[in-house]
A and B are shown apart, each in its own frame.
Chain A
Amino acid sequence: MRTIRLLLVLVCATSLSGSAQEASESDAAKAVRVLEGERVKAQSRNDNHALDLIFDNALVYIEYGKLVTKGDYLSRIKSAKPQQQQIAPGAMTVRTVENTAIVVGTYRETYVKDGKSSSKRWRFVDTWVKKQGSWLLVAAAAVPLSK
């Protein structure tokens, strides 16, 4: 009986905490969070068409300390071998102010180099802007975590 009560309490607490988290995030933030997920999927599939829709034409992207444009980035994805790299998103926070959203989070990148699998954790900052009703990624930058 005690076990059943405990289970009920746990189930209630879990569902309450879930709904509270959802309630605290705006619709805009939820939309951006979904788009972040879509972007990761598109990147994993080397789906240039999907990324083209997600990226603003003036996207600036900083990775490995280099500044690349949307064109540069899409060319790299296009030429990358399928499954050459995998990205596992970690925790992220989304903050929206009017038509701008800032996403800060981490992800783990797993890649194969010279036949060996390696992984690296990154922290990123993405900026999204809502243009004509659609959220577009205008800036993306990531830094490898040293610890």
Chain B
Amino acid sequence: MKALMLVALLACVGTSASYAPGDADSDVEAKVVAMQHMWGQAYVSKDPKALERILDDAFVNVDSDGILQTKAEAVAEVRTSTAAQFLTESMVVHLHGNAAIVTGVFEIKGVDRGKPYAQRERFVDTWLYKNGQWVSIAGLVTRVGQ
């Protein structure tokens, strides 16, 4: 059932990820926020294909330990994800022409090697409208209050 819901979400966001230049800011913000949620859900459903569509080929991320991560590494991380729950909150989108900055906080819960864990981290992601769709080109994650 969860897989079906994710497929429906993917299909929905997939068709609406593109935007016409005349789109209202609120429409664009909603699309980008939907893609952020999809990004998080990819960790729960271990769905690398979703991430491949969301991330630009030259995507780069800095994790909360300061380690650099490429798109290939991010996709590989999703494949081996131990996340059971991924909640995103307090998202704010700032639009700058064909670029968007999204800030927010996510909480990820799961079980790793038999031990339950819960992480709460703040993120900032940069999105770009490129070749007719929004893709994330950079991100940074930091522990809340780090």
Contacts and interface: CB of A to CB of B under 8 A. Distances in A.
**Bound pair: A and B?**
yes
Interface of A: 56, 58, 60, 62, 64-67, 95, 97-100, 102, 104, 121-125, 127, 129, 131, 138-139, 141-147
A119 to B, nearest CB: 15
Contact of A146 (B65, B92, B141): B65
A66 B103 CA distance: 11
A31 B100 CA distance: 21
Contacts of B98: 98-100
Given A98-B98, A123-B68, A138-B96, A65 B146 contact: yes
A37 B110 CA distance: 42
B45 interface: no
B62 A127 contact: no
26 contacts: A60-B103, A60-B124, A62-B124, A64-B145, A65-B144, A95-B58, A97-B137, A99-B99, A100-B99, A100-B126, A102-B60, A104-B60, A123-B68, A124-B62, A124-B140, A125-B140, A127-B101, A138-B96, A139-B103, A141-B124, A141-B140, A141-B142, A143-B63, A143-B64, A143-B65, A146-B66
Contacts of B122: 62, 65-67
A64 B96 CA distance: 25
A65 B126 contact: no
B97 interface: yes
Contact of B101 (A97, A121, A139): A139
By size class, the interface of chain B is 20 to 34
A145 B62 CA distance: 10
Contacts of B126: 100, 102, 125, 127, 139
Contacts of B124: 60, 62, 125, 139, 141
B138 to A, nearest CB: 5
B139 interface: yes
Interface string B123-146: 010101010000001111111111
Given A102-B60, A144-B66, A62 B145 contact: no
Contact of A144 (B97, B137, B144, B146): B146
A58 B145 contact: no
B94 interface: yes
Interface in B41-74: 58, 60, 62-66, 68
A125 B94 contact: no
B145 A65 contact: yes
B91 to A, nearest CB: 12
Given A104-B138, A125-B140, A58 B94 contact: yes
